[in-house]
Amino acid sequence: MNELHAPYLIIGFSVAGRWGARAIRENDPGTPIVAVSDERGWYSRPLITYVLGGKSRGVDHTGLLFDATSLAVLEGERVERLDTINRVAFLRSGKRIFFEKALLAPGGVPIVPPLEGITERGVFTFTGKGDLEKMRQFLEEVHPKRVLILGGGFIGLKTCEAFMHRGFEVTVVELSSRLLPLMLDEDGSRYLEKALVQAGVKVVLGETVVAFEGSGQKLTQALLRGGKHLPVDCAVVAVGVRPNVEWLQDSGIEIRKGIVVDEFQETSKKGIFAAGDVAETRNFLTGERNVVAIWPEAVRQGKVAGANMAGTRISYPGSLPLNVLDLGGVALVSAGLVNPPQGGGFEVLVRKEKDEYMKVVLENECIVGIIMLGRIEKSGIYIRLLRERIPVTGFKERLLDPKFGLVNLPREFRKSWVEGVGVEV
């Protein structure tokens, strides 16, 4: 059958698509849903580095976590063009899907710079299950020892941690003057760099790779912009991810940094929604529009989009940059506005110790940014204070105390945060 009809069409069936389908089903129990996915199975992308490092046995999930009645998933398929006027999705296989409402959630794709030798055997991206399978096969066949990670951002350092855990010689090359430039400030980055170096990682900052060199069957070295050659057997290109939107260029849907959506996750075309790593939303704190490509926000956006598609009217509160990382034995949390602009009326609180770093950014007596490096077990309290915009005036002087906890909050907050029989607040 080359034609299908779908009251609800979901394009991309990873986290945002799944939670979108779940929200649709919760609000509309019986109407058919058709989902299209270019991958097979349901898995957790954040787990691929843990599997590579031997910390997790697999990435696959079982079950859909919701009632899958009247749900058809076309796996290994891809939508190549979307006709938003006639409501038709054209698939790679030649099939056409006529739809009434659609959720666009195809995720992001890795940025691959046009480097000489980028196609050498042993050069990888690492953002999906397919990358994991290729990497594992390569490691079994070639047995490399020296790994280069191009990119000191979140994906690059998570991949770095996986190779560190397996005992590889790892070099991280980052164009910026510091690691995790979007997640950390200057001091936090130096703490992390020090921990990595102590763990045996070579860190090269302010540099980039201009070419990979090898025999066609074996990668041998990487040429840096400054002229230095680094011996390497395996390389991971992790310079960033961009929204997967090229196939929408002729759709009439407004696209800037990503697919522009309103507070209900609806695009410029009525009845067509977007969520996850392709959606350009407003920042929860600043109101600026951007794409925040992290798992928790994809879940929230998927829920909002699905519910609104099914007739419920709920708003997305805005995106909050939030990342957690465990690297070289050092755990860190970064959330919100961690590098506030000068002269903006922000107050910055900092605590520095030998192996710990903490920074709290305040605006109008509310937390708007947090960095915790080394000790993060209480991070949930700070993040909730941030999300709920709770003034810290009465306990601000205790925010940096390592013993700070729920007991330090005003009683009215503790009562609303802690529930359960026999719990004393």
Q: Which residue in the block uniquely carries the two structure tokens 């991949």?
A: 159
CATH value at residue 389: 3.30.390.30
**Rounded Cα distance, 301 and 332, in Å:** 25
**Rounded Cα distance, 57 and 49, in Å:** 11
Percentage of the chain with pLDDT > 70? 96
The closest of 5, 20, 19, 52 to 273, measured between CA atoms, is 20
| Residue 395, amino acid | F
Is 321 inside any structural domain?
no
Is 320 inside any structural domain?
no
Is 353 inside any structural domain?
yes
Q: Which of 90-104, 388-402, 407-421 has the largest mean confidence?
A: 90-104
Instruction: Count Cα atoms within 13 angstroms, Cβ side, for 144.
Output: 26
Mark 327-339 as b/e (b = at least 16 C-beta within 10 Å): bbebbbbbbbbbe
Q: Which residue in the block uniquely carries the two structure tokens 């009251």?
A: 7
Asked if residue 169 and residue 235 are part of one domain, the reply reads yes
Domain interval for residue 188: 110-240
Residue 424 has pLDDT above 70, yes or no: no
Q: Is the distance from CB of 120 to CB of 212 less than 8 angstroms?
A: yes
Q: pLDDT for 375-411, tens place per residue?
A: 999 999 999 999 999 999 989 999 999 999 888 887 7
User: How many CB atoms within 10 Å of residue 200?
Assistant: 12
Distance linking the first and last C-alpha atoms of the chain: 62
The closest of 124, 166, 120 to 143, measured between CA atoms, is 166
Select from 207, 240, 273 the last residue of a domain.
Answer: 240
Tokens linked to 44: 């957790």
**Rounded Cα distance, 211 and 123, in Å:** 11
Q: Which of 29-33, 92-96, 179-183, 421-425 has the lowest mean pLDDT?
A: 421-425
Q: Model pTM?
A: 0.93
Asked if residue 104 and residue 42 are part of one domain, the reply reads yes
Question: How confident is the prediction for the chain on average, in pLDDT?
Answer: 93
Q: pLDDT for 195-236, tens place per residue?
A: 999 999 999 999 999 999 998 788 999 999 999 999 999 999
Task: Please state the domain count of the chain.
Answer: 3
Cross-strand bridge partners of residue 83: 88
Asked if residue 171 and residue 145 are part of one domain, the reply reads yes
Q: Which of 57-71, 167-181, 230-244, 275-289 has the lowest mean pLDDT?
A: 57-71
User: How many CB atoms within 10 Å of residue 23?
Assistant: 24
How would you write 294-323 as a 3-class SS string?
A: CHHHHHHHHHHHHHHHCCCCCCCCCECCEE
CA distances, 90 to each of 16, 19, 407 (Å): 21, 24, 57
Q: Which of 68-77, 95-104, 157-166 has the lowest mean pLDDT?
A: 68-77
Is 65 inside any structural domain?
yes
Q: pLDDT for 158-193, tens place per residue?
A: 999 999 999 999 999 999 999 999 899 999 999 999
User: How many CB atoms within 10 Å of residue 407?
Assistant: 8
The closest of 139, 144, 148 to 210, measured between CA atoms, is 148
Tokens linked to 237: 């290109």
CATH value at residue 276: 3.50.50.60
Asked if residue 118 and residue 78 are part of one domain, the reply reads no
Cα 108 from chain centroid?
A: 9
Looking at residue 405, what is its pLDDT?
A: 87
Is 43 inside any structural domain?
yes
